[in-house]
């Protein structure tokens, strides 16, 4: 799917969400999560490991960097205001592992597309491990648990 198709799809889902809200159907605020979606764990059910982080990084580079940037900061992107994924203080749709999972799987806001069709749940939880590894130091797993040293987090 091209970016344009993704964005159109995200916009369509968002407007469906508005329509659902208008007809009184419940919809999680600020997300396109279907009302009948199974509950999402608040904490990553995949144990942290270097391998999980590496797998997550591969998914990130393949699916996310095009909008969020190589380093997650979305600085080079002029087409969208994609979130800075290294800075939870600026996130609008929640900061728990479960929030990251939901926003990746079902999309967020108007322009964050859903990845339900591209990534299975295990792959998304690996991605959450990677996102933690480029986030603030205090939210990263302890070095004893093994953190992938990337250009972004080696500082
Ligand atoms: C087509 C461009 C695009 C792609 C590809 C994309 N994103 Fe996003 N993403 C966005 C935009 C734009 C926003 C901001 C949405 C808003 O604020 O309305 C966003 C927001 C988010 C958020 C919510 C941040 C907050 O404010 O709470 C998360 C989490 C996220 N993206 C993760 C990912 C992950 C993980 C991937 C790869 C699987 C990904 N994104 C791929 C454009 C994209």
DSSP per-residue letters across 115-150? -TTT--HHHHHHHHHHHHHTS-GGGSPPGGG-----
Q: Is-above-0.85 flag for pTM?
A: no
Q: What is the mean pLDDT of residues 1-9?
A: 48
State residue 140's pLDDT score: 83
The per-residue b/e assignment along 109-120, b for 16 or more CB within 10 angstroms, e otherwise, is bebbbbbbebbe
Query: pLDDT tens digit string along 38-58?
Result: 889 999 999 999 999 999 999
pLDDT category, 150, cuts 50, 70, 90?
low
Q: Which one is predicted more confidently, 105 or 148?
A: 105
14 lines ligand 1 (CB under 6 A): no
Q: Flag whether pLDDT at 2 surpasses 60.
A: no
The Cα-based distances of 73 to 51, 64, 77, 116 in angstroms read 23, 11, 9, 23
How many whole angstroms separate alpha carbon 136 and alpha carbon 67? 20
Domains of the chain: 3-145 (1.10.760.10)
Q: Which atom of ligand 1 is nearest to the CA of 127?
A: 35
Higher pLDDT, 140 or 18: 140
Closest approach atom of ligand 1 to CA 80: 12
pLDDT digits (tens, 9 = 90+) for 68-99: 999 999 877 667 789 999 999 999 999 999 99
Q: Could you give the CA distance from residue 137 to residue 121 in angstroms, rounded to a whole number?
A: 25
Report the separation in Å between the CA atom of 113 and the middle of ligand 1, taken as the mean of its atom positions.
7
Average pLDDT, rounded, for the chain:
80
Rg of the chain, C-alpha, whole Å: 15
Assess whether pLDDT exceeds 90 at residue 155: no
Residue owning the nearest CA to atom 36 of ligand 1: 64
Q: Say what the pLDDT of residue 30 is.
A: 56
10 lines ligand 1 (CB under 6 A): no
Q: Using a 6 Å cutoff on CB, does residue 112 contact ligand 1? A: yes
């Amino acid at each position: 799917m091209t970016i344009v198709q993704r964005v159109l799809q995200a916009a369509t889902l968002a407007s469906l969400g508005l329509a659902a809200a208008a007809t009184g159907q419940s919809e999680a605020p600020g997300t396109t999560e279907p009302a009948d979606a199974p509950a999402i764990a608040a904490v990553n059910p995949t144990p942290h490991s270097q391998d999980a982080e590496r797998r997550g990084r591969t998914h990130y580079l393949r699916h996310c960097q095009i909008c969020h940037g190589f380093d997650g900061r979305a600085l080079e992107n002029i087409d969208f205001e994609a979130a800075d994924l290294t800075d939870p203080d600026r996130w609008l749709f929640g900061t728990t592992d479960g929030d990251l999972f939901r926003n990746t799987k079902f999309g967020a806001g108007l322009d964050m597309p859903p990845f339900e069709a591209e990534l299975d749940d295990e792959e998304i939880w690996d991605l959450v491990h990677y996102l933690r590894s480029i986030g603030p130091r205090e939210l990263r797993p302890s070095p004893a648990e093994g953190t992938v040293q990337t250009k972004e987090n080696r500082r």
